[in-house]
Structure 1
Amino acid sequence: MSNRTAVTEFLLLGFSDVWELQILHFVVFLVICLAALMGNLLIVMAVALDRHLHTSMYLFLMNLAILDLGSISVILPKSMSLFVVFIVTEIAFLTVMAYDRYVAICQPLHYKRVMNWRACIHMAAGPWISGIVYSPLHTGNTFRLPFCQSNVINQFFCEIPQLLKLICSDSYLSELGFIAFGVFIAANWFVFIIVSYVQIFKTVQRIPSEQGRHKAFSTCLPHLIVVTKFLSISSFAYLKPTSSSTSGLDLFVAVLYSMMPPVTNPIIYSMRNKEIKNAVKKMIGWRLFTKNKRTVCLP
């Protein structure tokens, strides 16, 4: 047997050793985290407190906001399993939300019957169960393998592509097969999303009025943007060759797929959604503020 040194702990290099850059990174990431926490908390509270938003569409949106809250909060070495939980569950929820939009647009007369509360609860529980089951298996299999290279990870958390660089060559195929299985499941989910949107676009094209087509497309546009963004960034992060990628590129991509979705998702979903905007304004007392602002005090 070859002489190997077992690796039992990892050293995260982070972004920079320069003090001024560390301060800049701290401020930038603090702003990102606070923006993500505030945006997703507002969506969760608005959906929970406003009865007009107690529908399947906003139930799934609230779950997506909870997932973004979790993913932005657990990027620590000891919480990698939880990060996988939130990422896998988010992919599953994006698939469920695509089916919800498909039923709403392609089968509007059967929407209330198909998307009843019992079905919504089952469809919401499914992604959580899949993420909770898959993540410990994946994380456990990763750390079960022997690490015989350096213990230095040029990343700010224990990202799996970076861990693969440290695995002994004869054990690499085991983890690669496990990742291939996860990619296969995720690919099936994305194929389902694509098929759903093909049917949605066909139905939208048959709507006679331009206003009706615009309204139908507007309800799908935020979800379509989120799916496209998530698919492109995560695919690039996990499917690019780990040996040829530079450390700076790895750090940049990791920031994009781990920190930016929790910040941008609330903006994307609330930008064109009047119901969400009205619920948030009502919750923070915006109406009371505007009324007081318009009040004229007479002597």
Structure 2
Amino acid sequence: MKIGFLGMGVMGLPMAKNLIAKSGCQVYGYDVAAARMEEFAAAGGNTVAEMDDIYKICDVIMQMLPTHPIIISSVEKAIQYGKKGNIIIDLSSTAPNIIQDLYAKVQAAGMYLLDSPVSGGNPKAIDGTLAIMTGGDKEIFDKVKPLLECMGHPVYTGGPGSGDVTKLVNNIIAGAYLAAIAEGYAFAAKAGIDLQTTFEATRTGFVGGPLYENKVPKIIARDYEPGARIAVHRKDLINAKAYAHHMGVDLPVTDVTLRVMDWMADNGYIDTDQAGMVKYFEEKMHVTVGDDS
């Protein structure tokens, strides 16, 4: 089986490396950045000269792509250049309605599409422990589950689009939690208490967990190098708002989270790590949070 991987950014590259190391398959990859292609090749991957080669060569095509137009174009090219029976796995965070439209097109071409978004950021992408939420045909999920297990913990969520709905649930909750963490540590800084002590005192309580362990040290160190960019998370929350509108419901807590992320966008911080959301609260509380010395 030949596997293709498209989009080797902060998340995609370590995911592709885990496939190379664990799947026992030939893994072909393409990215617009030459440096990422070189790193992929150094890990044992097969690079291709043109993106279209992935669709022509591979039986399973995985894509981790940033925007809806690129995602749609990639799936349409997979239909154009691929063969019947091919499996397309969209690991991106895609709007459920877009996946459902693409699923019908892929099915009509005699191929299969799984929506399989992931969560866990760069650290879990590196160690192969991502949460993977997969919608589509159950028998196809069962077929590729060993490949997905190379990158994390796949769970079958139901029919087409259900994986992406599940990811929206994940990011609605995670977004609110991230905003609350940022607000809490700005509050602590304003009150003049030690942030590291605050972390040690709270990390084993109900507030603790993987996200807390990952983001609070970054806030304290003023380290906003992206493991997961605000821009990507914000896109997911906008998708959630759109789907909520489709269902005729409101998301009031998400509205607050988006207000913070919109401020980040307006002030040039949209491509920072989610830990950078603390900047919004620094501005509101007139305080500096953490120390980068």
* Same fold by TM-score greater than 0.5: no
**TM-score of the superposed pair, with normalisation by structure 1:** 0.27
The structure with the larger Rg is: 1
Q: Which structure: greater helix fraction? A: 1
Higher RCO, 1 vs 2 (CA within 8 Å, ≥6 residues apart): 1
Instruction: Identify, as 1 or 2, the structure richer in strand.
Output: 2
